[in-house]
């Protein structure tokens, strides 16, 4: 019988607690704000003998992911964490981890990329990684960061998937804020995660394999197709893991999670901590009789376009909020994916985009009220500029 306890924890501590329960074989990491508290907490678990993990302190994030690739290829359950510029320094090896089909789990504490130098939250780091071949999970709060980390291990290690997973949470807003969270007991968590049985380990001398060979035009395309297929298989694997973990927690998990969405005519779509702020405004406007709602992406890669259509097709107008800019593109990363999902649909809502919160700029209740108000005109056909900016000085 699963035991649940309520505790006061930061988002970073929630991620570290999930890692303690998972007890990975190897963790390689380098400190960077605002990820550092995850590894501070986890390194204390190592020092106190609460995990059996080989903790590798490296000289850079490039080395951290390189060490993770080596340990995972050897057959070790491997985890790490990073943020922003650290993730950018890993860039080359992030691709290698995915293309060599290594089930590494990495907590990404979202932070703006330089320059100018900024240590606060936006999603430019993980959005830049959206096409690297990593599965991406997003977390509204610390409790979701905890849950997503536990589930990420099972998703990554599914034999039909074998892809790395990044679990994202907002820098400072979530990572450093204390909230009441509900955690499950160690035995239940470890029973859910289970033991890792690597498929092709370098240390298995009875079955020699090679990782990272030269792969030119003779087989490169076919290997990329295998990654594409793995992402397709991940959809079923994620659904299965969500359902199984939901039986433990008594909660329902989905790729896209609605809040008062069923009859909503005006909808905001946003991820991570912004979803929690939006719920406050949805409640406020609902109390006044306005049919508004929220759709929160928990999974961005793989992207289930058919579920997006199913959940939003009844709405009259939809605002997609992006906490990242796509320089030279038409709108942000979320906007392009969500709008494209409706391309073949004859009946569709009017969809507009708001870029917001870059560099940690606050998304306040007034901004969200204004967005919902502007969606009234959009619903009536007055779309105007379909890419807009919220919270920036003129």
User: Could you read off the pLDDT of 199-246 as tens digits, one per residue?
Assistant: 899 999 999 999 988 999 999 999 999 999 999 999 999 999 999 999
Q: Of 186, 221, 249, which marks where a domain is finished?
A: 249
pLDDT at 75: 97
Nearest to 154 by CA among 21, 30, 49, 61: 21
Nearest to 136 by CA among 155, 122, 112: 155
Which CATH number belongs to the domain containing residue 99 in this structure?
A: 3.40.50.970
No. of helices (H) and no. of strands (E), the chain? 13, 15
Residues 196 and 244 occupy one common structural domain = yes
Read off the pLDDT of residues 333-344 as tens digits, 9 standing for 90 and up. Answer: 999 999 999 999
Residues 221 and 264 occupy one common structural domain = no
Q: Which of 72-86, 208-222, 257-271, 295-309 has the lowest mean pLDDT?
A: 208-222
169 pLDDT higher than 90: yes
Residues 274 and 351 occupy one common structural domain = yes
Residues 227 and 357 occupy one common structural domain = no
pLDDT mean over 70-98: 98
pLDDT at 152: 99
Strands in 165-170's sheet, in edge-to-edge order, are 54-57, 26-29, 78-82, 105-110, 165-170, 135-138, 299-301
Q: What percent of the chain has pLDDT over 90?
A: 99
Contacts of 105 (CB under 8 A, 6+ apart): 24, 78, 79, 80, 149, 152, 153, 156, 164, 165, 166, 167
Residues 239 and 286 occupy one common structural domain = no
pLDDT at 212: 87
Which CATH number belongs to the domain containing residue 260 in this structure?
A: 3.40.50.920
Residues 186 and 283 occupy one common structural domain = no
pLDDT mean over 173-199: 97
Q: Of 249, 275, 297, which marks where a domain is finished?
A: 249
Residues 228 and 307 occupy one common structural domain = no
pLDDT at 394: 83
Average pLDDT score, the chain? 97
90 pLDDT higher than 90: yes
48 pLDDT higher than 90: yes
pLDDT mean over 269-292: 98
pLDDT at 1: 87
Residues 141 and 34 occupy one common structural domain = yes
Residues 264 and 322 occupy one common structural domain = yes
Q: Which domain holds residue 197?
A: 4-249
Quick one: CA torsion of 7, 13, 18, 20, rounded to 10 degrees? -110
Exposure of 268 in the CB half-sphere (CA atoms within 13 A): 29
pLDDT mean over 137-162: 98
pLDDT mean over 49-66: 98
pLDDT at 94: 98
Q: Of 231, 249, 267, which marks where a domain is finished?
A: 249
Domain count, the chain: 2
Model-level pTM? Answer: 0.98
Residues 299 and 336 occupy one common structural domain = yes
Residues 81 and 26 occupy one common structural domain = yes
pLDDT at 314: 97
Greatest CA separation for the chain = 68
pLDDT mean over 147-171: 98
Residues 207 and 311 occupy one common structural domain = no
Q: In the chain, which ranges are E strands? A: 4-10, 26-29, 54-57, 78-82, 105-110, 135-138, 165-170, 178-184, 256-259, 266-269, 292-297, 299-301, 317-322, 350-356, 387-390
pLDDT mean over 91-113: 98
């Amino acid at each position: 019988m699963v035991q649940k306890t309520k505790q006061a924890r930061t988002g970073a501590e929630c991620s570290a607690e999930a890692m303690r329960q998972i007890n990975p074989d190897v963790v390689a990491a380098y400190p960077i704000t605002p990820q550092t508290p995850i590894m501070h907490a986890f390194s204390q678990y190592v020092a106190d003998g609460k995990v059996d993990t080989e903790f590798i302190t490296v000289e850079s994030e490039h080395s951290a992911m390189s060490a993770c690739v080596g340990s995972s290829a050897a057959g070790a359950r491997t985890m790490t964490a990073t943020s922003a510029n650290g993730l950018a320094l890993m860039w080359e090896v992030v691709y290698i981890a995915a293309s060599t089909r290594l089930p590494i789990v990495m907590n990404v504490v979202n932070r703006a990329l330089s320059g100018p130098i900024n240590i606060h939250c936006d999603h430019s780091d993980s959005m830049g990684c959206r096409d690297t071949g990593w599965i991406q999970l997003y977390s509204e709060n610390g409790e979701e960061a905890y849950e997503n980390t536990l589930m990420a291990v099972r998703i990554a290690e599914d034999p039909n998937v074998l892809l790395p997973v990044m679990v994202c949470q907002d820098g400072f807003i979530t990572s450093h804020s204390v909230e009441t969270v509900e955690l499950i007991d160690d035995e239940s968590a470890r029973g859910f995660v289970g033991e890792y049985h690597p498929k092709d380990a370098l240390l298995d001398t009875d079955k020699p394999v090679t990782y990272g060979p030269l792969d030119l035009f003779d087989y490169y395309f076919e290997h990329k197709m295998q990654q594409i297929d793995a992402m397709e298989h991940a959809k079923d694997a994620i659904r299965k893991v969500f359902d199984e973990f939901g039986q433990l927690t008594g909660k329902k998990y989905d790729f896209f999670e609605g809040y008062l969405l069923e009859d909503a005519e005006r909808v905001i779509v946003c991820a991570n901590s912004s979803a929690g702020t939006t719920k406050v405004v949805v409640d406020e406007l609902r109390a006044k009789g306005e049919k508004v709602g929220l759709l929160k992406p928990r999974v961005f890669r793989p992207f289930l376009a058919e579920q997006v259509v199913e959940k939003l097709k009844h709405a009259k107008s939809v605002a997609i909020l992006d906490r990242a800019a796509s320089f030279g593109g038409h709108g942000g990363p979320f906007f392009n994916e969500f709008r494209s999902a409706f391309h073949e649909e004859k009946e569709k809502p009017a969809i507009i985009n708001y870029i917001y919160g870059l560099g940690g700029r606050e998304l306040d209740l007034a901004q969200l009220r204004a967005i919902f108000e502007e969606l009234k005109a959009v619903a009536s056909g007055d779309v105007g500029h379909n890419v807009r900016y919220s919270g920036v000085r003129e």
